[in-house]
Structure 1
């Protein structure tokens, strides 16, 4: 059950790019939460996963002796949930949803600035989770800012609200 949770329904067990597959798998529930509920639900769920996962990851690392196993993707799930929730606060749109995903993967892979420092210096479950939460924070904020700029200059003509899809 622990592996099922940490690999987000085994989506992180992909031999190549497990983080990207885990993030893509997380977009499915994120989409439906934003479509049928509110961005605050996704925001709170992100923090619930963050808090719950720290101890579970600590336990897993003690059992396996591996810090930040590449197949653990629950951190990506919490991070992309946060990114999508923040982006949706400016507009619950398909464009914001996609840019949140793209920026999250960019920040998660490159680990610029404080994200990289947290990744290197903070150990255990907190370290595994915190760098992805920061990546989600920055990705969500950047998506919202870019969307606002695009709106300001009337460059958003094709976008659609997630609640209007399907």
Structure 2
């Protein structure tokens, strides 16, 4: 089971890439998100995100079983499945927007770029609720801080899209 947890937790070993494994995990999540969006639209990516969150929580619990709570070991850098979940949430507005407009999601490429940058910003900066979740020091906190960062980034993507298209001016 530990081998399967490692494959899931490191997103097929992407988490071992250096430097900045979290950024590599987020970057690897984007083309997978695009493929899921093209294959099944927003419904599929939303379902896949829930699956990734559940599988990620399990994998993180297995991989950090012997870690001391509240230490750096509770969130090893090679665990990037949390970044995958957060990155996908950050990109939800892109998938939903493409589906609503009936276009291929790649046409909304500025949304992909904004979602990636905003998610990395919130994940690294850890403002407000993101930092509070991270300080839990357990597997739930490992996943939850990135989910919240993804939500913040998704809100930012919607705001930027509104500004770009003149809806919020």
Q: Do both share a fold (TM > 0.5)?
A: yes
Which residue of the other structure, out of 114, 117, 122, is the alignment partner of 1:107? 122
TM-score, normalised by the number of residues in structure 1? 0.85
Summarize deviations over 1:112-149 as a string: whole Å, max 9, x none: 111011111x2321100000000111101110111012
Q: Is the counterpart of residue 3 in structure 1 residue 10 in structure 2? A: no
> Whole-Å Cα distance in 2 between the matches of residues 83 and 89 of structure 1?
11
Displacement of 1:86 after TM fit? 3.0
Give the aligned CA root-mean-square deviation in angstroms: 2.0
Residues 29-53 of structure 1, C-alpha deviation per residue, up to 9 Å, x if partnerless? 1111122321221122112211222
1:155-166 alignment runs, 5 A limit: none
Q: Offset of 1:63 from its aligned partner? A: 4.0
In structure 2, how many angstroms separate the alpha carbons of the residues matched to 1:86 and 1:112?
A: 21
Structure 2, unmatched stretches of 5+, are 99-104
User: Contact between 2:5 and 2:62, CA under 8 Å: does it hold in 1?
Assistant: no
Unaligned residue ranges in structure 1 (runs of 5+): 154-166
Partner in structure 2 of residue 158 of structure 1? none
TM-score if structure 2 supplies the norm length?
0.83
Runs of 4+ in structure 1 over 6 Å off? none
Aligned length: 154
Aligned to 2:165: 151
- For the residues of structure 2 that align with 1:64 and 1:9, how far apart are their CA atoms? 22
Q: Is the 8 A contact 1:75 1:129 kept in 2?
A: yes
